[in-house]
Amino acid sequence: MNTFPNDFIWGTATSSYQIEGAATKNGKGPSIWDAFSSIPGKTHNGETGEIACDHYHKFKEDIQLMKDLGIKAYRFSIAWSRIMPTGKGKINEEGIKFYSELIDELIKADIVPWVTLYHWDLPLALQLEDDGWLGDSISDHFATYADLCFERFGDRVKNWITLNEPWVVAILGYGQGVFAPGRVSTSEPYLAGHQLILAHAKAVHIYRKKYKHQKGQIGITNNCDWREPLTDSNEDKEAAERALQFFLAWFADPIYKGDYPETMKERLGDRLPKFSLEEQKMIKGTSDFFGLNHYTTMYAAHDDGSPKDRNVYGNGGISEDQEVDLSLDKNWDLTLMNWAVVPWGCKKMLEWIDNRYDKPEIYITENGCAYADQLIDGKVNDQERLEFYKGYLNACQQAIEGGVKLKGYFAWSFMDNFEWASGYDKRFGLHYVDFETLQRKPKKSALWFREAIKNNSANIDLL
């Protein structure tokens, strides 16, 4: 039986807006998601994260569930506006207290905290007063916020992630407008992405300069789906590579190579901001590990410009900038999000990162699936999710055997939660959440995951 390395990290992940609730409690300021989800038509059934899973009040109960599962690490995000209500200036000590108690409780349960500083819930005041991620001041505000977190929590937190999926912030928030702050543009995504990279780098330099004595590690998490060439033609192979560079290399190349990919610079011209030589030097090398959120795979083909029934924002960026046409195999199984289940794409994605970025240590910081779970006699027999995890973890084993330095895996998500604009009907969790009573119930996949952790293997059958 193939097993994972003995030091392999097993964890689950969540984000603050999706689970905490207590949106206006104890001094918390509003975020862009509080505002966005209050606008009619922006979210499924007008649902919001005002209560969500009520993790703010139930975190001790939730940590006990993690302990029962045998979880070794827990990745969560801090709500910036909970500890700095306007994103700058005044500190909310009640917010600091909440996260401090959460961290202490995790350590007490022998669960290692992995903290994400930003998972999309920007303080609303920074959007209104400083133009959000388009403003020149945002990277300095983020660095100050990060400094506060390092100071207050860094004695116990040794694993930091600066940003979660900056591609989503840029494309869905400032391009397609389906996520907060809801802006629609074909140029603003590149401006926002630029500021996100600078913010990440500034935070890392503060951590390395001021908090070296804490002996932790810090990185960034990017998302990317695999792009498989539709045919063996050179055009389709180049299109698949181009799609990956517009998706992942957009944010990873500056950090690992010092600048944007050449194909982006050539195709975008002046629409892509430029880093100064000083900024390039500051950004390069600012990640101690490669954080990857991976869910699915699509075929990529060269777009010949013929009319097609598709949005210009394909799954991976602005399609008209890439000249890439994306499609699915009709034989692939789909999740409730219509994301294809393709485990071999995960292996290829890991190998691509390993090759392009000179064999970095990689952590899959999110991987999972949404299905329409049915509660029968208080239980969810989620066989589809069980097969999903088996397939993707076997692909991870194969990548490790091939020399990829995959060091850990975090299942998304620990429990069902508010799934952004899609609302509460998209269930990703290892635990079913009855949102009417806010009860948590383990799914069959949660029991399988516990056995997999115990045996350090994906090859576990649980009937």
List the Cα angle 421/425/429 in 5-degree steps.
100
Q: Which of 163, 27, 24 is nearest to 90 (CA)?
A: 27
Average confidence score pLDDT of the chain: 95
Does residue 463 register a pLDDT over 60? no
The reported pLDDT for the residue numbered 2 is: 80
Overall average pLDDT of the 107-129 stretch: 98
pLDDT tens track for 202-253: 999 999 999 999 999 999 999 999 999 999 999 999 999 999 999 999 999 9
The reported pLDDT for the residue numbered 318 is: 76
Within a domain: 431: yes
| Range of the structural domain that residue 443 is part of | 9-455
Within a domain: 2: no
pLDDT tens track for 388-411: 999 999 999 999 999 999 999 999
- Beta-carbon count within 10 A of 176 CB: 17
List the Cα angle 398/336/370 in 5-degree steps.
55
The reported pLDDT for the residue numbered 313 is: 42
Q: How confident is the model at residue 316 (pLDDT cuts 50, 70, 90)?
A: low
Q: How confident is the model at residue 143 (pLDDT cuts 50, 70, 90)?
A: very high
Domain count for the chain: 1
Q: Are strands 324-327 and 297-302 parallel, antiparallel or unpaired?
A: antiparallel
Does residue 188 register a pLDDT over 90? yes
Examine the residue annotation and report whether 323 is marked as an active-site residue of this protein.
no
Within a domain: 253: yes
Q: Which pair of tokens denotes residue 451?
A: 């056995």
The reported pLDDT for the residue numbered 312 is: 43
Within a domain: 461: no
Within a domain: 240: yes
Q: pTM of this prediction? A: 0.96
Overall average pLDDT of the 134-139 stretch: 98
pLDDT tens track for 273-289: 999 999 999 999 999 99
CATH of residue 437's domain is: 3.20.20.80
Q: Which helix (H) or strand (E) holds 129?
A: helix 124-130
Q: Which helix (H) or strand (E) holds 277?
A: helix 277-283
Q: Which pair of tokens denotes residue 307?
A: 């009319």
pLDDT tens track for 20-46: 999 999 999 999 999 999 999 999 999
Overall average pLDDT of the 123-129 stretch: 98
The reported pLDDT for the residue numbered 320 is: 82
Find the range with the poorest average confidence among 122-126, 169-173, 296-300, 439-443: 439-443
Overall average pLDDT of the 340-348 stretch: 98
Does residue 317 register a pLDDT over 90? no
Residue 308: beta bridge partners? none
Examine the residue annotation and report whether 351 is marked as an active-site residue of this protein.
no
Does residue 16 register a pLDDT over 80? yes
Q: Annotated catalytic residue: which of 20, 165, 241, 279?
A: 165
The reported pLDDT for the residue numbered 1 is: 62
Q: How confident is the model at residue 374 (pLDDT cuts 50, 70, 90)?
A: confident
Within a domain: 462: no
The reported pLDDT for the residue numbered 109 is: 98
Distance CA 62, CA 433 (A): 11
Does residue 309 register a pLDDT over 60? no
Overall average pLDDT of the 416-433 stretch: 95
Distance CA 169, CA 166 (A): 5
Distance CA 166, CA 117 (A): 12
Q: How confident is the model at residue 323 (pLDDT cuts 50, 70, 90)?
A: very high
Q: How confident is the model at residue 84 (pLDDT cuts 50, 70, 90)?
A: very high
Within a domain: 301: yes
Annotated binding site for substrate: 18, 119, 164, 295, 412, 419-420
What are the start-end ranges of the E strands in 51-166?
A: 73-77, 112-118, 159-164
Within a domain: 139: yes
Annotated binding site: 18, 119, 164, 295, 412, 419-420
Q: How confident is the model at residue 311 (pLDDT cuts 50, 70, 90)?
A: very low
Main-chain dihedrals φ then ψ at residue 431, nearest 5 degrees: -115, 135
